[in-house]
A and B are shown apart, each in its own frame.
Chain A
Amino acid sequence: MLLYTLRRILYAVPIALAVSLVCFMLVHIAPGDPIDAILPPDASAETVALVRKDYGLDKPLPVQFGLWLAHVVQGDFGRSIANRRLVADELVSAASKTFILATTAASLGFVIGCILGGLAGAFRGTLIDRAAVSFAVGGVSVPHYWLGMVLVIIFSVTLGWLPSMSAGPGDWAWDWLHIRHLILPAITLSVIPAGLVTRTVRGVVVEILSQDFMTTLRGKGLRRLMLTVHVMKNAAPTALAVMGLQLGYLMGGSILVETVFAWPGTGMMLNQAIFQRDIPVLQGTTLVLAMIFVALNLLVDLIQTALDPRMRRT
Chain B
Amino acid sequence: MRDDLLVLARDLRVKFTTGVNAVNGVDFDLRQREVLCILGESGSGKSVTLRALMRLNPPTKTIMSGTLELGGRDVVQASENEMSDLRGPFVSMIFQEPMTALDPVFTIGRQITETILRHENISRRKARRRALELLELVQIPSAKRRLDAYPHELSGGLRQRAMIAIALSCRPKLLLADEPTTALDASVQIQILLLLREIQQELGMGMIFVTHDLGVAGEVADRIAVMYAGRFIEEGPVADLMRQPLHPYAKGLLGATVHEGSRGKRLTTIPGAPPDLRDLPGGCAFAPRCTEAEGACLAHLPELRTPVPDRAARCIHVDDRPAAFGERLAS
Given A215-B56, A310-B152, residue A220 in contact with residue B115 (CB < 8 A) = yes
Which residues of chain A are within 8 angstroms of B92 by Cβ–Cβ distance? 219-220
B144-172 vs A, CB cutoff 8 Å, 1 = contact: the mask equals 00000010110000000001001001100
Which residues of chain B are within 8 angstroms of A223 by Cβ–Cβ distance? 81, 84, 118
B54 at interface by CB-CB < 8 Å: yes
Structural contact, B100 and A213, CB atoms closer than 8 A: yes
CA distance A217 to B104 in the complex (A): 12
- Apart from the given pairs A213-B104, A216-B166, 14 other A-B contacts in the complex at a CB distance below 8 Å: A212-B97, A212-B100, A216-B102, A219-B54, A219-B87, A221-B84, A221-B88, A222-B84, A223-B118, A226-B114, A234-B104, A309-B152, A310-B150, A310-B152
A218 at interface by CB-CB < 8 Å: yes
A228-246 vs B, CB cutoff 8 Å, 1 = contact: the mask equals 0010011000000000000
Structural contact, B118 and A222, CB atoms closer than 8 A: yes
CA distance A205 to B103 in the complex (A): 14
Given A212-B95, A233-B105, A309-B105, residue A220 in contact with residue B100 (CB < 8 A) = no
Q: Name the residue of chain A whose CB is nearest to the CB of B60.
A: A125
B114-144 vs A, CB cutoff 8 Å, 1 = contact: the mask equals 1100110000000000000000000000000
CA distance A87 to B92 in the complex (A): 67
A308 at interface by CB-CB < 8 Å: yes
B106 at interface by CB-CB < 8 Å: yes
- Residues in chain B within 8 A of chain A (CB atoms): 51, 54, 56, 81, 84-89, 92-93, 95, 97, 100-106, 114-115, 118-119, 150, 152-153, 163, 166, 169-170
Which residues of chain A are within 8 angstroms of B166 by Cβ–Cβ distance? 216, 220
A196-232 vs B, CB cutoff 8 Å, 1 = contact: the mask equals 0000000000000001110111111111001000100
CA distance A223 to B118 in the complex (A): 8
CA distance A223 to B80 in the complex (A): 9
Q: Name the residue of chain A whose CB is nearest to the CB of B96.
A: A212
27 A-B contact pairs sorted by A residue (CB < 8 Å): A211-B100, A212-B100, A213-B101, A213-B102, A213-B104, A215-B101, A216-B93, A216-B101, A216-B102, A218-B56, A218-B84, A218-B87, A219-B56, A219-B87, A219-B92, A220-B169, A221-B85, A221-B88, A222-B115, A222-B118, A223-B81, A223-B84, A226-B114, A309-B152, A310-B150, A310-B152, A313-B153
Nearest Cβ on chain A to B54's Cβ, whole angstroms: 6
CA distance A309 to B81 in the complex (A): 32
CA distance A175 to B81 in the complex (A): 47
Structural contact, A220 and B114, CB atoms closer than 8 A: yes
Structural contact, B86 and A221, CB atoms closer than 8 A: yes
CA distance A313 to B149 in the complex (A): 12
Given A211-B100, A309-B152, A310-B152, residue A233 in contact with residue B106 (CB < 8 A) = yes
Q: Name the residue of chain B whose CB is nearest to the CB of A235.
A: B105
Structural contact, B103 and A309, CB atoms closer than 8 A: no
Which residues of chain A are within 8 angstroms of B86 by Cβ–Cβ distance? 221
Which residues of chain B are within 8 angstroms of A222 by Cβ–Cβ distance? 84, 114-115, 118
CA distance A152 to B172 in the complex (A): 63
Which residues of chain B are within 8 angstroms of A310 by Cβ–Cβ distance? 104-105, 150, 152
Task: From A216, A234, A309, name the one whose CB has the most chain B CB atoms within 10 angstroms.
Answer: A216
Q: Name the residue of chain B whose CB is nearest to the CB of A237.
A: B105
CA distance A116 to B289 in the complex (A): 52
- 10 nearest CB pairs, A to B: A221-B87, A221-B88, A212-B100, A309-B150, A220-B115, A221-B84, A213-B103, A216-B101, A212-B101, A219-B93
CA distance A284 to B288 in the complex (A): 79
Nearest Cβ on chain B to A204's Cβ, whole angstroms: 13
Given A221-B115, A309-B104, residue A216 in contact with residue B95 (CB < 8 A) = yes
Question: Which of these, B105, B153, B170, contacts A308 with CB under 8 Å?
Answer: B105
